[in-house]
Structure 1
Amino acid sequence: MKKTLPIVASAAAATLALAGCASGTAEGDPTTSPTTSPTGGVSAVSYDCAAIAEGGEGFGSDEDVAVLAGLEWCVGDDDSAKVQSPEPSSVSATATLVVDAGDGEAIEVGKAVTLDYTITSGADGTVLYSTYTEDAAETLILDETTLDPALLSAFTATSEGGEIVFASLDATAQDPAEATVYMAIRVTEVSAPLSAAEGEEVEPAAGLPVITIDEDGKPQVAFDGAEKPSELVVQPLITGDGDTLEEGDTAVVHYTGWVWDGEQFDSSWDRGAPASFPFVTGGLIDGWIQGLAGQTVGSRVLLVIPPELGYGEAGSGDAIPGDSTLVFVVDILAAL
């Protein structure tokens, strides 16, 4: 099963943040605190490198695109890919260059793209992170509101099988000369998630919060007459007939989250784009893992999550006090 973007340290984290990191968190979303993945060079791999030269379309300033055109695209004997510079190089802002446009399904805003990539330092070519060594191809949703414009433009200029160089600046670098990082990206798969839940409607049990859908398609939660449970409640509202969501997948979802008998604290619908999360224990609150595992794509699920399966005694920021029971409505749009 494919997995999604790990949050890695230093330059890699900065690059992924600029990439939109579809699994990036808003306050009170179901992700737990990010963990740091190991970084380091790729050992025992022999690379065959060739000049990129003009490549395809470039996005960013002419000067920065020219820097990318001066890099070399390197393919390892393990079929991994990276870029390297014959000498230290840098950019002034984010920029992209299409190395190979691909010949598969066209990439469009709203689609899910699965990637392999390697991040290297512009200063000395050190490999900072690689999905190849982690065996962790990653999936993100192309979203105009979160994705860096140069990267979004490059994606929509390519198709499945495409290859892209993305350059960005690591704001945490102590030395400006070491701030430039390069990401060699391969698009291995393109798919289109559902836009909303679809399937057979289910009559919910009595005593639960009442869910209505407003004229914009966003769920609203009413607590009048609801009885707060002490255990996890998993109530399908729509049962889809798609693939089953399992641990290790990328979950593409729309969701809204509320504090019991209180206010909404998060909503992907309000942000205007679905979210994608690594559906793995430790990456999401336990209530999501226990409540959504085994549900099918196309389903809409009401989750009522007790504190011990949510944010516990600590809560999360100002929006979720400690010991809060949480209510989520989740549309499962894809399991990748």
Structure 2
Amino acid sequence: MAFKLAHTDPQTKARAGTMTTDHGVIETPIFMPVGTVASVKGVHQKELREEIDPDIILGNTYHLFLRPRTPIIKAAGGLHKFMGWDRNILTDSGGYQVYSLSANRKIKEEGVKFKSHIDGSLHFFTPENVMEIQRDIGADIIMAFDECTPYPCDYQYAKRSMHMTHRWLDRCLLHLQKTPLSYDYDQFFFPIVQGSTYKDLRRQSAEYISNVGAEGNAIGGLSVGEPAEEMYAMTEVVCEILPEDKPRYLMGVGTPINLLENIALGIDMFDCVMPTRNARNGMLFTAHGTINIKNKKWENDFSAIDEMGITFVDKEYSKAYLRHLFAANEYLGKQIATIHNLGFYIWLVREARRRIIAGDFAQWKNIMVKQMDKRL
């Protein structure tokens, strides 16, 4: 994978670059819409390509392993062909989903035994079989198997967990060398920095991960309920250590403000369910603040959903009409809101990139953070 830095903001650590894989160029900073089960909820692939237009989306190893099951994806020719998506895909390793199943899983050195949330069946994830599963799913970027610690987390637990994540990483790397590609394109591997909210552990983990020499690096465990200030502090510590010539991926983050603040700290890649999940609850993100479209104040507002929006829904439908759809529990309302929110996230990171290249990112970011913090 070729990663080239094009520009760095003179006042912050923000970067604009390009990543190139066999499925195309990814311009950074980038937000990856979450397509958990080979589908970005509520959005056709045609709308995803032509309206939202991301360079890369995310799939989930845990969910795809359970349903439709890896052999079916492999028989289809890989996830790209199975879901009709010809651009880049990243799969997370399932570590976060296993973490979220705290009542139904047991973590050991060998791996994690867990019960399916679908039918209660028992399964066992190891660093080795997670690499095999991701080979067969066929994403362009695949993640190391790690343990995501909860927040809050005591120091000794965080330390033990971090060292186990490092040992699991070594096993992932060793097994990848033995496991051939399943398809006729390359896959690229990202290890994950852990260490909870302890600076010394985060430094230690970032140094260990940096020494692996992988194609890119990720930061995990910072979207589990910690205050934003803790997230920013840990991100800053880690970005000081991770190599500048490799992309940096902050997993599971976050709000539009989180994106801009972390871009300023040197992050290149993001994913989060927030734009789609909040959309289904009637929350719209805009450059001027957040709209709760269910509020009665929008009942007679016939202005466009978002005059600055980049998708067709933003100007084709009014706030009053969208509010009506939510009041009537019409699924079209959720679809419109989802397309809007994803379009806004993609616009935000692309505008950030444009500002980094222009040299005025810092000033623009500070204005945007204040505007987006409003409730309209």
Q: Same fold (TM over 0.5)?
A: no
**Which TM-score tier does this pair reach, normalised by the shorter chain?**
under 0.3
TM-score by length of 1: 0.26
Task: Choose 1 or 2 for highest CA Rg.
Answer: 1
Q: Is the helix fraction higher in 1 or 2?
A: 2
